[in-house]
Amino acid sequence: MPWRQLSLTAARDQAPMLAAALENAGALAVTFTDPETGPETAVASAPATAIWEPAPATVALWEQVQVTALFAADPTSQRQAEAAALALAGLSLTAPRWNDLDDQVWEQTWRNGFAPRRFGQRLWVCPRGQTTPDPNAVVVQLDPGLAFGTGQHPSTALCLSWLDRTPLAGCRVLDFGCGSGILAIAALKLGAASAVAIDHDPQALEATATNAVANQVRERLLIQSPAAATEVLAEADVLVANILARPLIELAPTLSRAVVASGRIALAGLLVNQAAAVAAAYRDWFDLAASEAMEDWVLLSGQRRSDSSPGNDGDQDDPA
């Protein structure tokens, strides 16, 4: 079936409103891209766009955004699309642009840009249906989606490599800010006994559940929002949080208290120049060090001291 592609260029603050209007007009998909890529490639590259990852918890929007909508080419859809273009012309920084597209296998298109990838020595992440060249690999099957976490972003890659080299057999793992669930699922595949995945975004929780089922680890994974996770924030042998520097600092007491004495922690989603401030926020519980860096991103890791500072939770980890 052929398609009609409508492209508009808008200011950053107008882009979400344009997208909502186009969806209400019957658009089957709406994507945001850099205007520099040009209207001809926007939808053709839309599946690949899904595997590009912005920094955790951020939205990748430029000062000007190309908003591209895909419509079916039947007469009714075309009339709706043309009416939408006319109504939205005043909000666009450029004249609406139209392209006719032939049908293609979109699933295969994005798969072509997402190949199996190894993290550390054993761990691989690959799209469902693909295989790795290592017959002894520990494989996480994961398709790109709307929730953060495929291993493409350096902070996710750093966490996956850290999990690969961390002894996890029999451990209880907490993945705070789970996104796609990739870290919790990887931990379970690497031998963890159980895992808890926490995220404030319902879409992330849904993606985590779907990916856990696909990887046959759903029965060992508890998926919760932060508000519902009070009871599980005190028993992790291993905690990994791939979020951002500011929430890592603000959550330092909460995350630190979630780790048992001698438990291990890994913090990511922070730039190299933010590492010192994050490490300082955890100094009452951990001596954190930058264990690995990639591009401008760094991962901090350490082991919880059994004699954590009094006045915080120094007695929490003492045997009852």
Structural domain span for residue 225: 146-303
Residues 104 and 154 in one domain: no
The pTM of the full predicted model, rounded to 2 decimals, is 0.67
Whether pLDDT at 304 is above 80: yes
Give the dihedral of Cα atoms 182, 184, 186, 191; nearest 10 deg: -170
Q: Is residue 16 part of a domain?
A: yes
Q: Is residue 279 part of a domain?
A: yes
User: What is the number of structural domains in the chain?
Assistant: 2
Q: Are the beta carbons of 102 and 77 closer than 8 angstroms?
A: no
Question: Mean pLDDT, to the nearest integer, of 114-141?
Answer: 88
Residues 7 and 151 in one domain: no
Match 């020595």 to its residue by tokens.
121
123: Cα within 13 Å, side-chain hemisphere = 28
User: Of 108 and 291, which is predicted with more confidence?
Assistant: 291
CA separation for the pair 101, 41 (Å, rounded): 11
Q: 1-15 pLDDT, tens per residue?
A: 577 888 888 887 888
**296: Cβ contacts below 8 Å, ≥ 6 apart:** 154, 271, 272
Q: CB 310: neighbour CB atoms within 10 A?
A: 9
The CATH number of residue 47's host domain is 3.30.70.120
Q: 184-217 pLDDT, tens per residue?
A: 999 999 999 999 999 988 888 998 999 999 999 9
Residues 73 and 202 in one domain: no
Identify the weakest region by mean pLDDT among 33-37, 113-117, 252-256.
33-37
Measured CA angle at 293 (ends 246, 208), to 5 deg: 60
- Burial status of residue 90 (CB atoms within 10 A of its CB: 0-12, 13-18, 19 or more): exposed
Q: 47-71 pLDDT, tens per residue?
A: 333 333 444 444 445 678 888 888 8
Residues 218 and 283 in one domain: yes
Q: CB 55: neighbour CB atoms within 10 A?
A: 17
Match 């909460």 to its residue by tokens.
254
Whether pLDDT at 23 is above 50: yes
Q: Where are the alpha helices (DSSP H) in 122-274?
A: 154-165, 182-189, 202-214, 245-250, 252-257
Residues 104 and 152 in one domain: no
Residues 97 and 223 in one domain: no
Residues 10 and 55 in one domain: yes
Q: Where are the alpha helices (DSSP H) in the chain?
A: 15-24, 46-49, 75-88, 106-111, 154-165, 182-189, 202-214, 245-250, 252-257, 275-281
CA separation for the pair 204, 197 (Å, rounded): 10
Q: Which of 33, 94, 42, 89 is nearest to 62 (CA)?
A: 33
